[in-house]
Each structure stands twice: as C-alpha cells, then as structure tokens.
Amino acid sequence: MTQSMVAISQSDCTGCDQCITHCPFEALLPALEIPPGMRKRPIIVVESRCVGCLSCIGSCPTIALHELVVPPIAIESPLKATSGPVESEKIVRWGKYGLGVA
C-alpha cells in the first residue's frame, strides 16, 4: 500500500482558503507573505502534518489540489522545496475564536 499526500497547483489556486478549513490535521496553511510576481498568498502544504487523508481535495472549487502518491521507500518528501521552507500564518481553528470547521 502506498501513502498519499496532497499537492497544490499554485497556478490553479484562487486563494479562497476553503481547503484550510477542511484539513483536520492543519496541514494546509497560507503563506505569511505574497511572493514577488504573485497576486495572492500561496497555500503551503506542511508535509510533516499531512497524513494523506485527502479530505481537502473535495473542498477546492478550482481543482487546484491533487493527490501525490509517495513511493513506499521514499527517503525525502516529494513536496520538499528546493528554495527552503516558507513562513506560514498560524490559524486558530479549534479555540474560542477559531473556525471550528473540519
């Protein structure tokens, strides 16, 4: 059995952030800043939190999320960025002022 992760096609993503509230493991977070040349903050997949449940895929209205199959003997995550980690915004979802949606 292979493991799956979610990947994002940033060119198809509109920045609606619906996937963030549908991830029960808080593996999808918005980037802290808008990179040069982009009009929206990209959504970041936190690879250490993504368990491959794929519950976020159905929440995307533009089909920007897709399944990424991880080989059974993978040493590194296929989502590993070559430019280094990107700072992401912390989202309070389950607290007093959180969204409370999964």
**Residue 99 has what pLDDT?**
55
Closest C-alpha among 2, 62, 61, 52 to residue 28: 52
Please give the helix or strand (H or E) that residue 5 lies within, else none: strand 3-8
CATH code for position 18: 3.30.70.20
% of the chain exceeding 90 in pLDDT: 6
**Residue 33 has what pLDDT?**
85
Mean pLDDT over residues 18-41, rounded? 87
What's the total number of domains in the chain?
A: 1
- Reported pTM: 0.65
Distances (CA, A) of 55 to 19, 39, 60, 84, 101: 9, 26, 10, 27, 12
**Residue 85 has what pLDDT?**
61
Query: Is 6 strand, coil or helix?
Result: strand
**Residue 36 has what pLDDT?**
87
**Residue 96 has what pLDDT?**
61
Domain containing 27 equals: 1-102
Identity (one letter) of the amino acid at 42? P
| pLDDT tens digits, one per residue of 35-82 | 888 888 888 888 888 888 888 998 899 999 998 887 666 666 655 555
Query: Is 58 strand, coil or helix?
Result: helix
